[in-house]
């Protein structure tokens, strides 16, 4: 490497470090501002509540003077209000804290029957002035109206999964005035979540998703109740948690959870709004409602493990779960408030690539269904005994497939060993078998990219790379990682001196070390006996060798 090159590398590293420190500074400043803003808002809300209480006192005082007149004007309405309020009072828990919450929810001023400011203007419902102002635009929708809003405010909805789907679901349900929201998730917020999980902010990175989402929901609407279920849903707690709610929304990212939630909804007779999104596609339906099917009616047998795709492998455009989640919120609102036609026995299919929405008609409830059929095998009493992870051959999280071992570990390289070999100057070709769209995100310097699926037809490219390599004394850590900005700059640039096929090793990497084993098996069968792969792939390189590697 020439002096100019070295200087160039140093300058680039300095500039990168500067950028990183500026970024960190910005992030922490942003988090600070957000925190201050939140505190200010809370203070403001508190002051407003105090003022309201004061005003209510004044109104109550005036009211005693007006009492006679009001009763003359609207004796029936007033009587009705009192009766309803009395009934509600009977139904509600006697717990004073619950009473206070209930009053806040319905926007009343927290006073006894008849003495509330709103009561003066009562027209047969117990909605306070704040309640009416807040939801006025919804109250004006004729088919929803006062009765829809009241039912919604008295309903409890459980959202399982606070990710890309759960974000718009919880936001809209909180804003629309669902009485009680339950949020389920056991994960913490990560940077790679934020592009789609828009309820979470940078300030909450590393915090439980349920806390982040609950604080966002309450910031949006402090008059609702939000309960956090931060330990996630499993066979042991599903029935107990779900039975506390009226409607359940499945916003999870894995198959066992989908079967578990569906079964628990069948066992507790709750309608289920189920949505999914991946890449540029989305699916949505309502299960276990009226004569419609449950998830098991549709998919009695889980798909084989090899056929499943995950957001962390296949990607997802942020807005796609946004669209599906928003539609899930709509279905949940309709189920909770009892208006409109839901997606029961229908499925909505979204193709975001060409902006097409398909509505398809589904089968009804299957009499042979394991969960909801005429002779169901699963009930609230025995659901906890069912092993969902074994049934679906996967875990109750978005965890990927287990690391495969096609080649014995002692016949493979660790990422640390790879580093030493690269630094030793031993003649080699560093072959990266990821798909090209992943390779351009980030890659090791001086690597050759041939995707596993194309390896067979591009063997000649590898052969010529092997033929042209003798020594490669570069230290990869002294180089910037090629990625986004400089696509392909290091591709096939292995410098040539004297061809020497015999002593040239082929080091094969991929993202996590599964495809690289398949590649090595194939290469050895084709006579490249010196091919060896790296355990754990680039994930291990980023973890064990160089944290700076931009793993994705």
Report the binding-site residues for ATP: 164, 185, 192-196, 209, 253-254
User: Residues marked as binding for Zn(2+)?
Assistant: 294, 297, 369, 372
The CA distances from residue 66 to 61, 111, 120, 332, 460, in Å, are 9, 17, 9, 43, 95
CA distance 406 to 531: 14
Largest CA distance in the chain: 108
Nearer to other proteins by Cβ, of 159 and 241: the residue is: 159
Nearer to other proteins by Cβ, of 168 and 208: the residue is: 168
CA distance 546 to 529: 29
Nearer to other proteins by Cβ, of 312 and 382: the residue is: 312
C-beta of residue 200 within 8 angstroms of C-beta of residue 167: yes
C-beta of residue 160 within 8 angstroms of C-beta of residue 252: yes
The strand ranges marked E within 179-289 are: 180-184, 225-229, 247-250, 272-278, 281-287
Active site includes 265? no
User: Considering the complex, what minimum distance in angstroms separates the CB of residue 534 from other proteins?
Assistant: 25
User: Considering the complex, what minimum distance in angstroms separates the CB of residue 57 from other proteins?
Assistant: 48
Spatial CA neighbour of 53 closest among 134, 130, 149 = 130
Nearer to other proteins by Cβ, of 309 and 525: the residue is: 309
C-beta of residue 308 within 8 angstroms of C-beta of residue 255: yes
Nearer to other proteins by Cβ, of 57 and 281: the residue is: 281
Q: Is 309 helix (H, G, I), strand (E, B) or coil?
A: coil
User: Considering the complex, what minimum distance in angstroms separates the CB of residue 273 from other proteins?
Assistant: 12
C-beta of residue 548 within 8 angstroms of C-beta of residue 17: no
Phi then psi for residue 250, to 5 deg, are -90, 110
Task: Identify the burial level of 36 via C-beta atoms within 10 angstroms of its C-beta, where 0-12 means exposed, 13-18 middle and 19 or more buried.
Answer: exposed
User: Considering the complex, what minimum distance in angstroms separates the CB of residue 165 from other proteins?
Assistant: 4
User: Considering the complex, what minimum distance in angstroms separates the CB of residue 301 from other proteins?
Assistant: 4
The residues of the shown chain that bind other proteins, judged by CB under 8 A, are 161, 163-166, 251-255, 258, 275-279, 281-283, 298-304, 306-311, 314, 316, 321, 347, 349, 351, 358-363
Where residue 330 falls (left for φ over 0; alpha for ψ -120 to 50; beta otherwise) is alpha
CA distance 517 to 408: 10
User: Considering the complex, what minimum distance in angstroms separates the CB of residue 512 from other proteins?
Assistant: 18
User: Considering the complex, what minimum distance in angstroms separates the CB of residue 164 from other proteins?
Assistant: 6
Nearer to other proteins by Cβ, of 329 and 532: the residue is: 329
Spatial CA neighbour of 225 closest among 139, 130, 133, 97 = 97
Nearer to other proteins by Cβ, of 175 and 349: the residue is: 349
Active site includes 311? yes
Nearer to other proteins by Cβ, of 60 and 343: the residue is: 343
Nearer to other proteins by Cβ, of 185 and 432: the residue is: 185
Q: What is the edge-to-edge ordering of all strands in the sheet holding 505-509?
A: 447-449, 428-432, 505-509, 531-533
Residue from 109, 217, 311, 494 carrying the catalytic annotation: 311
Length of the chain in terms of residues written: 552
CA distance 99 to 88: 10
User: Considering the complex, what minimum distance in angstroms separates the CB of residue 400 from other proteins?
Assistant: 13
C-beta of residue 116 within 8 angstroms of C-beta of residue 108: yes
User: Residues marked as binding?
Assistant: 164, 185, 192-196, 209, 253-254, 294, 297, 369, 372
CA distance 407 to 57: 78
CA distance 300 to 317: 29
Spatial CA neighbour of 214 closest among 184, 237, 243, 254 = 184
User: Considering the complex, what minimum distance in angstroms separates the CB of residue 536 from other proteins?
Assistant: 24
CA distance 203 to 425: 44
Angle at 396 between CA 260 and CA 335, to 5 degrees: 40
The strand ranges marked E within 174-236 are: 180-184, 225-229
Where residue 353 falls (left for φ over 0; alpha for ψ -120 to 50; beta otherwise) is alpha
Sign of CA dihedral 18, 20, 23, 27: negative
Spatial CA neighbour of 179 closest among 274, 99, 271, 106 = 106
Active site residues: 311, 510
């Amino acid at each position: 490497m020439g002096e100019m090159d070295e200087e160039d590398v140093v300058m680039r590293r300095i500039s990168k470090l500067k950028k990183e420190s500026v970024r960190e500074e910005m992030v922490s400043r942003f988090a600070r501002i957000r925190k201050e803003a939140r505190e200010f808002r809370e203070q403001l809300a508190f002051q407003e509540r105090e003022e309201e209480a004061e005003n209510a006192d004044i109104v109550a005082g005036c009211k005693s003077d007006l009492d006679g007149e009001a009763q003359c004007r609207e004796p029936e309405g007033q009587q009705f209000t009192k009766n309803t309020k009395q009934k509600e009072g009977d139904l509600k828990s006697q717990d004073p804290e619950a009473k206070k919450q209930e009053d806040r929810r319905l926007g009343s001023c927290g006073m006894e029957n008849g003495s509330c400011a709103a009561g003066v203007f009562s027209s047969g419902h117990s909605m306070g002035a704040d309640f009416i102002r807040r939801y006025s635009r919804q109250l004006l929708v004729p088919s929803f109206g006062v009765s829809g809003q009241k039912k919604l405010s008295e309903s409890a909805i459980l959202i399982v999964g606070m990710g890309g789907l759960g974000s718009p679901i919880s936001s809209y349900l909180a804003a629309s005035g669902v009485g009680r929201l339950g949020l389920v998730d056991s994960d913490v917020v990560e940077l790679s979540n934020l592009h789609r999980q828009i309820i979470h902010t940078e300030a909450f990175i590393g915090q439980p998703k349920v806390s982040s989402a609950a604080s966002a929901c309450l910031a949006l609407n402090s008059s609702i109740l939000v309960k956090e279920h931060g330990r996630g849903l499993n066979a042991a707690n599903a029935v107990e948690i779900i039975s506390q709610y009226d409607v359940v929304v499945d916003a999870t990212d894995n198959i066992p959870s989908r079967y578990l939630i569906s079964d628990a909804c069948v066992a507790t007779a709750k309608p289920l709004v189920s949505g999914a999104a991946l890449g540029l596609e989305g699916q949505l339906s309502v299960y276990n409602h009226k004569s419609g099917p449950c998830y098991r009616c549709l998919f009695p047998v889980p798909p084989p493990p090899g056929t499943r795709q995950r957001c962390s492998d296949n990607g997802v455009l942020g807005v796609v779960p946004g669209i599906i989640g928003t539609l899930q919120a709509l279905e949940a609102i309709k189920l909770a408030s009892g208006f409109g036609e839901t997606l029961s026995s229908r499925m909505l299919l979204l193709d975001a690539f060409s902006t097409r929405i398909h509505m398809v008609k589904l089968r009804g409830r299957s009499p042979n269904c394991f969960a909801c059929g005429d002779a169901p095998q699963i009930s609230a009493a025995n659901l906890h005994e069912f092993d969902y992870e074994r049934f679906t051959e996967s875990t109750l999280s978005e965890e990927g497939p287990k690391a495969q071992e096609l080649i014995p570990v002692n016949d493979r390289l660790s990422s640390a060993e790879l580093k030493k070999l690269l630094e030793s100057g031993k003649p080699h070709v560093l072959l990266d078998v990821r798909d090209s769209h992943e390779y351009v995100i980030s890659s090791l310097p001086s690597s050759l990219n041939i995707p596993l699926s194309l390896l067979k037809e591009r063997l000649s490219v590898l052969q010529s790379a092997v033929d042209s390599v003798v020594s490669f004394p570069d230290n990869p850590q002294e180089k910037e990682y090629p990625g986004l900005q400089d696509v392909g700059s290091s591709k096939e640039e292995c410098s040539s001196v004297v061809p020497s096929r015999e002593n040239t090793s082929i080091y094969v990497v991929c993202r996590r070390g599964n495809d690289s084993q398949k590649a090595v098996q194939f290469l050895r069968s084709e006579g490249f006996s010196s091919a060896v792969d790296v355990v754990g792939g680039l994930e291990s390189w980023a973890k064990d060798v160089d944290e700076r590697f931009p793993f994705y």
